[in-house]
Structure 1
Amino acid sequence: MNITVQQIMNECMAMASNRLEGTVDTLKFGDPSVIVTGIVTAFMPTQFVLEEAVRLGANLVIVHEGMFFSHHDGIEPAKDDPVYQTKWQWIESSGLAIFRFHDHMHHTFPDLVMEGLVRELGWSVYVREHRSVATVVTLPKLTLADLVLTVKRRLHIPFVRVIGEPDITCETVGLLAGYRGGGTTAIPLFGEADVLIYGEGPEWETPEYVRDALYQGRRKGLIVLGHAESEEPGMKLLCKRLRQRYPHLPVHYVKEKPLFSIY
């Protein structure tokens, strides 16, 4: 059974509730008519991830974020940069097809990225409500310190950033994957949530709200995972679904090493 790159792309796009205009979800490299011999899903198309795809024998890579350090895949500012040039030349010589699956992935319901995060945390049974940009869960009561340990262990990440007293009680938690930690999106959730967990957002918005809340004696907490750490589980879930859909194809999820270190 031969499946083309275009057929896989169509399958991914069909997961969304509707087709979007002006999307970044396009084939960035490769020929859509090529027969797929193997698939790699990954959060970020780093050069390591792409080389690992070749090593695994895959010729289609499905990634969530952009290849050239810009959400809108703009290349003009970097086109003469040696890092950009080396990566571009390597991709062209590799023969890989690279498909970016971002906007439509976030327009599934529940959001496939959020669903991956919830599943990786083991909290599917605690979901109170899936919303368009957030998920609210009601957990058995635990302290913020214990919640942090649980999150780090289940996501297999070495550290998170935390605001709040370690002994506060956590029960209702708001989850926002990726770059959804801005004040407009996140702060209203504190009306019902004890703690928010998100990928990233402007540090002068939600974190400063929590600082003032704590100063006023309100026992709230915030856990900042990192953008990749919050969205990688979604690409892992996508890998699982593609394996189920195409059992004859080898499908791999490739995880990068953590980007930052703590000194």
Structure 2
Amino acid sequence: MRKIEIIEQIKNHHYHEWLGKEINEETTRDQILFGDIDEECTGIITAIYASVDVIKHAIEKNVNLIIVHESLFWNHGDHTDWLLGNKTYQIKKKMMEDNHITVWRNHDYLHAGIDYKGRRVDGIFYGLLELLGWENYVHGNIGFPLILNIPKIKTEDLINEMMYKLNLNGIKCFGNINGYTEKIYLPMHITGNDNDKITVVDQENIDTIISMECIDYTLGIYVKDAAMLNIEKCIIAIGHFNLEEPGMKWYAEKFLPAILPVTVPIYFKQVGDMYQFVIK
């Protein structure tokens, strides 16, 4: 099958409405970010983003279609006009050109939802829930998981379990990691205007927040203050890419093989820890 045929077949198995609006093919994030879509597809790698290591892995596996969830060239919209003299850009671009690699971003369609086991699920966050064994602990709509009620666990044990299951070497945390966790909140992005999230944490009696981005000066210091008052609250700041990465693993291992011909090899490549930790 040609790459474009693969992409269209995948899109046909997703919902086309997200956040109350029809996905617009002209304005969606889900564009061909690089390469020729009319060539025959030799195989697929999914990844949270097409890092240099992911591209090298594709070359090793003789795969020429990389499906990513995030951008390729370090900016929203993947504009490259400002990168023409950039050395890293030139080398990365040449690697893909020389090996006929195409990169397709699947962001909006994955979040819009997939029919899986009789339910409409967000492909990214369902992958995380399944990895952690939390599919049945969602409070509300599993299509967009925000609050979960899990069996009571020591927060430090939860952190170590997540580090092991997400295959990470470290996790940044705020607040009290020595308490217990039963009620979890996934607020998605914590980027600066977070009064609503602080209100949810307080009113819903949240024990632990599992976050993507987490800046210091809103929810971060709120949780630290709460912990200083012996109120058991903690943020497990996994990071944007590492929290969504299990969804791309699930996509490669569970979803795509069910809808694509068996002749198309499919792999997942973990990007892994976004941070290195230097400890005093």
User: What TM-score do the two structures reach when normalised by structure 2?
Assistant: 0.85
Which of these residues, 182, 190, 195, is aligned with residue 181 of structure 1? 190
Unaligned runs of 5+ in 2: 114-119
1:19-168 correspondence runs (5 A): 19-21=22-24, 22-108=27-113, 109-130=120-141, 134-168=145-179
Give the residue type in structure 2 aligned to 1:252.
Y
Q: Could you say if the C-alpha distance between residues 129 and 61 of structure 1 is closer, same or farther in structure 2, counting changes exceeding 3 Å?
A: same
CA–CA distance in structure 2, aligned partners of residues 149 and 216 of structure 1: 25
Tell which deviates more after alignment, 206-215 or 143-152.
Answer: 206-215
Aligned partner of 1:253 in structure 2 is 268
What number of residue pairs does the alignment pair up?
Answer: 259
- Tell me, yes or no, if structure 1 residue 244 matches structure 2 residue 242: no
Classify the secondary structure of the residue corresponding to 1:244. helix
- Number of the residue aligned with 2:240: 227
- Partners of 1:188 and 1:106 lie apart in 2 by 25
SS of structure 2 residue aligned to 1:130:
coil
Structure 1 Cα separation of the partners of residues 165 and 95 of structure 2: 35
Q: Alpha carbon RMSD of aligned pairs, Å?
A: 2.0
* Aligned residue in 1 for 2:116: none
Counterpart for residue 5 of structure 1: 3
- Any idea what SS the aligned residue of 1:45 has? coil
Rounded Cα–Cα distance in structure 1 between residues aligned with 2:168 and 2:92? 27
CA contact (8 A) 1:134 1:176 kept: no
1:141–1:238 CA distance, 2 compared to 1 (3 A): same
Per-residue CA distance 1:53-88 (angstroms, 9 max, x = gap): 121121111011111111221223322111111111
- Structure 2 CA distance, aligned partners of 1:47 and 1:189? 39
Q: Aligned equivalents of 1:184 and 1:59: distance in 2?
A: 45
The 8 Å contact of residues 175 and 226 in structure 2, kept in 1 or not, is answered as: no
Over residues 155-180 of structure 1, what are the superposed CA-to-partner deviations in whole Å (9 max), with x where a residue is unaligned? 12111111222332210111245xx2
In 2: Cα distance, 1:38 partner to 1:221 partner: 42
SS at match of 2:152: strand
| Structure 1 residue 149 displacement after superposition | 1.4
Whole-angstrom distance in 1 between the partners of 2:268 and 2:49: 11
